A and B are shown apart, each in its own frame.
Chain A
Amino acid sequence: MTLTILNAVLFSVVLLLAVGFYGLLITRNLIKIVVVLQTLVKAAIMALVLAGNTSGNPGLGQSAAATVLVADTVVAVVALALAVQVRRRAGTLDIARISTLRG
């Protein structure tokens, strides 16, 4: 097994995905969930570019990655706005406490 750039990037993608999934499982803070989601999307962007390179369509992979990048940024903005509003109204960012609110 020889180490190539594609192998190294694939290893990085899997490692980032693993860290991101682990973070999703153990994190309860709303803003930190946004951070973890950003990590996961970065891994997905690298995977898209990698898939474009290996399939012979680098332009297609890069255009899909650019679209995902824009969508990811908008998701982060809206999620942060929601987190700020939740903090103002509920007084906490803990998702376990938010889900038990009534009224």
Chain B
Amino acid sequence: MFEPFLCLLLGLVAALCAYRAMISKHLLPSALYLACVSAMTSILLYMLGASEVAMIELSVGAGLVTVLLVYALSVVGEDTYDPTSIIPKPLAFLLVTVIALIAGGMAYSSATQPSISGDVLLAEVLWKNRALDVWVQVALIFSGVMGVLGLLSEQVQTRQTQKSAHRNTAEGLAVYAEQEARV
């Protein structure tokens, strides 16, 4: 009796945090709000009976991804200005409202059916019926390791790199012209 209202409240808090993450001018609060969304999502998943997925979501979504985001922000620096949107915001809001109403109306009929709790466990499905998924996950994790190496790689400072890095800023052009004059 109390649980549906708790689910509704958690969903509203998650959507509010997602909105705050989106409109925040700085990127660090966005990363922290995303961690909050992940925590709310994991509680909702637990209430749906998916305890294993909730645990993975909490550890990976709220932990690993947040750490990676904060590390990327520390590497990128204080380029935190989020420019204005290309599409007018009222038009975007109208489009999204229409899409949400259509999607919600289509999914409502299936969600009103009574919940059927099967006896098949996640591990049994994952290791016996969906073994290919496990191999795909191994390949994906390997790709993720390669991505982390790309994230952690040091910048090789060549003249060409410096030229392309500073090409768009007046200050960068001045620095590059000074370097060329020295040569």
Where the two chains meet, the residues of A that have a C-beta atom closer than 8 Å to any C-beta of B are 3-23, 25-29, 31-32, 34-36, 38-39, 42, 45-47, 49-67, 69-71, 73-74, 76-78, 80-85, 87-94, 96-97, 101, 103
| Contact sample, A vs B, 22 pairs, CB 8 Å cutoff | A5-B47, A5-B48, A7-B108, A11-B8, A15-B11, A16-B15, A16-B37, A21-B100, A26-B92, A29-B82, A32-B30, A38-B38, A58-B120, A59-B121, A60-B120, A63-B125, A65-B53, A66-B53, A88-B165, A90-B164, A91-B166, A93-B76
Q: Is the CB of B174 closer than 8 A to any CB of chain A? A: no
Given contacts A14-B100, A66-B53, contact A7 B166 (CB under 8 A): no
CB-based nearest B residue for A98:
B168
Given contacts A50-B111, A74-B144, contact A3 B22 (CB under 8 A): no
CB-based nearest A residue for B132:
A67
CA distance in complex: A90, B133 (Å): 37
Residue contact B56 to A69, C-beta cutoff 8 Å? yes
Q: Indicate which residue in A3, A26, A42, A88 contacts B8 across the interface (CB closer than 8 Å).
A: A3
Where the two chains meet, the residues of B that have a C-beta atom closer than 8 Å to any C-beta of A are 3-5, 7-8, 10-12, 14-15, 18-19, 21-22, 27, 30-31, 34, 37-38, 41, 44-45, 47-50, 52-53, 56-57, 60-61, 64-65, 68-69, 72-73, 75-77, 79, 82-87, 89, 92-93, 95-97, 99-100, 103-104, 107-108, 110-113, 115-118, 120-122, 124-126, 129-130, 133, 136-137, 140-141, 143-144, 146-148, 150-151, 155, 161, 164-169, 172
Question: In the assembled complex, which residues on chain B have CB atoms less than 8 Å from the CB atom of A103?
Answer: 164, 167
Question: In the assembled complex, which residues on chain A have CB atoms less than 8 Å from the CB atom of B89?
Answer: 26
How many pairs, one residue from A and one from B, have CB atoms within 8 Å of each other in the complex? 298
Question: In the assembled complex, which residues on chain A have CB atoms less than 8 Å from the CB atom of B121?
Answer: 59
Q: Indicate which residue in B48, B111, B146, B165 contacts A89 across the interface (CB closer than 8 Å).
A: B165
Mostly helix, strand, loop or mixed at chain B's interface? helix
Distance (whole angstroms) from the CB of B165 to the closest CB of chain A? 5
Residue contact A54 to B65, C-beta cutoff 8 Å? no
CB-based nearest B residue for A36:
B22
Residue contact B64 to A62, C-beta cutoff 8 Å? no
Mostly helix, strand, loop or mixed at chain A's interface? helix
Q: Indicate which residue in A4, A35, A71, A87 contacts B21 across the interface (CB closer than 8 Å).
A: A35
CB-based nearest A residue for B20:
A19
Question: In the assembled complex, which residues on chain B have CB atoms less than 8 Å from the CB atom of A14?
Answer: 100, 103-104, 107
Q: Indicate which residue in A28, A45, A62, A77 contacts B144 across the interface (CB closer than 8 Å).
A: A77
Residue contact A20 to B18, C-beta cutoff 8 Å? yes
CA distance in complex: A20, B82 (Å): 16
Given contacts A14-B104, A18-B96, A31-B72, contact A9 B82 (CB under 8 A): no
